Amino acid sequence: MAEYLPLIMFAAVFVTLLAGYAVAPTLAGVALLFAFGGALFGVFDLGDLGFLPNRIFGIITNQTLIAVPLFVLMGVTLQRTHIAETLLNSLSTLLGSIRGGLGMAVTVVGMLMAASTGIVGATVVTMGLISLPVMLRHGYDSKLATGTICATGTLGQIIPPSIALVLLGDVLSSAYQQAQLTQGVLSPKTVSVGDLFAGALVPGLVLVVMYLVYIAAVAFFKPERAPGAVRDTGDDPEGLPDARRELLLGLVPPLALIVAVLGSILGGYATPTEAAGVGAAGALILGAAYRALSVNVLREIALSTLKTTSMVFLILVGASVFSLVFRGYGGDELVQGVFLDMPGGAWGAMVIVMVTIFLLGFVLDFIEITYVVVPIVGPVLLSMGIDPIWLGVMIAVNLQTSFLTPPFGFSLFYLRGVTPPEVQTIDIYRGVAPFIVAQLCMLLLLVAVPQLATWLPGVLY
């Protein structure tokens, strides 16, 4: 019975979370209860908890994780200063008269917002409030409109730079070194957040192209679902040039900022943390240039950044306590033994892990999965010869698919909270179905052609 205590502890955390308790105290509290209970019955050494201060200090002093509050600040600033709304209005004016053009504009803006924010809930809610009323007013089918917003809002899981990839890259780096050390490699290779950014870039852009192709196909074959919008410029021949000027003013600055941040990382000119600092400062400068910064707006930006960052790091501390007790019970050896005995070898283990992560994505956010599940299964999978960058991209796309899938996908609940009453929940479910198919095709493509994730990092580094 004692050898299965790690799995029982994991199940206890899962049940407690389903009961509605907060994530960070649940992870730490359940782990400590199992630790003290195990010590009472002589099956756990409380001396293992002595490593906890060093683990927490390691989280606080982790240079990579400093990028998290900076990227959050960058995304929140672009959101609260209405730069994304300006960009959407400009693109809508330019492309709106084309059938499906408004949907394509929403996809592009959603991609840029997802890349800068990296938080699914914030992107979906923001795009729902900004673009859904516009799409419905111009006669777009509610299923297509809601599906587009949900799908583009989840791109923050895969489009760099995003905090999801920063956290996942940090965990995979530790897991990869641990896997090599268990194999007797005394000088282990490293995998960085920049490697994961490079690996996720091509699959992310391919997904965006899939979305755009689907919207264009709907507009071509069923134009009543994605009609051309009426231009606000009327018959004024100078209206279109004005729209183009507005587009340049709305598109070039935020796009240049994102390209500068991502390009400096991929080009090796800056670490993710340094680039995040540039991105945060650049976003504030853009907000000031657009005259969108006031004392109240700055206060909102600071509070939102503080809340999100505090949530992330509290979860990291709770997950650190959980993983320490889990390993103290020999949970890593138990998981490794289960995977090694599994039929199909590394591929069989990979399928089980992907299915498990997909199901957990219905009830846990990416932060909990990244810091609870991945440290447990990551070293085992990597020791079986799986490429760490490919694994990271597969996990990111898998979670993105989970957040879209009815009836429990997070993205669906976020959008449902800001949709008008005439849009039914079943419309949202039916609207995301084609995008889920695109996600599954992306997963199959990554399995069939792993170079989609590994080629660019190999070229750059």
Mean pLDDT in consecutive groups of 10 residues from the start of the chain, 461 residues: 80 83 87 91 86 86 85 84 76 76 86 70 78 86 92 85 85 87 75 89 94 94 81 50 66 81 85 88 89 90 89 86 87 79 83 89 80 86 91 93 84 84 88 94 95 91 69
* CA 114, chain centre distance (Å): 8
pLDDT value for 229? 63
pLDDT value for 199? 93
Q: DSSP state, 230? A: P
pLDDT value for 243? 56
Count how many Cα atoms sit within 13 Å of the Cα of residue 240 in the half-sphere of its side chain: 6
- For the chain, the distance separating the N- and C-terminal CA atoms, rounded to the nearest angstrom, is 47
Domain boundaries, the chain: 2-460
pLDDT value for 235? 45
pLDDT value for 234? 46
> How long, in residues, is the chain?
461
CB neighbour burial string for 13-48, b if at least 16 within 10 angstroms, e if fewer: bbebbeeeeebbebbbbbbeebbeebbeeebbeeee
45 Cβ partners below 8 Å, 6+ apart? 39, 328
- Could you tell me where the DSSP H helices lie in 267-294? 272-289
Classify residue 268 as left (phi > 0), alpha (psi -120 to 50) or beta: left
Cβ 71 vs Cβ 122: under 8 Å:
no
pTM: 0.83
Q: DSSP state, 43? A: S
pLDDT value for 116? 66
How far apart are alpha carbons 296 and 407 in whole angstroms? 38
pLDDT value for 19? 82
pLDDT value for 217? 94
Residue 136, token pair as written in the block: 């419905």
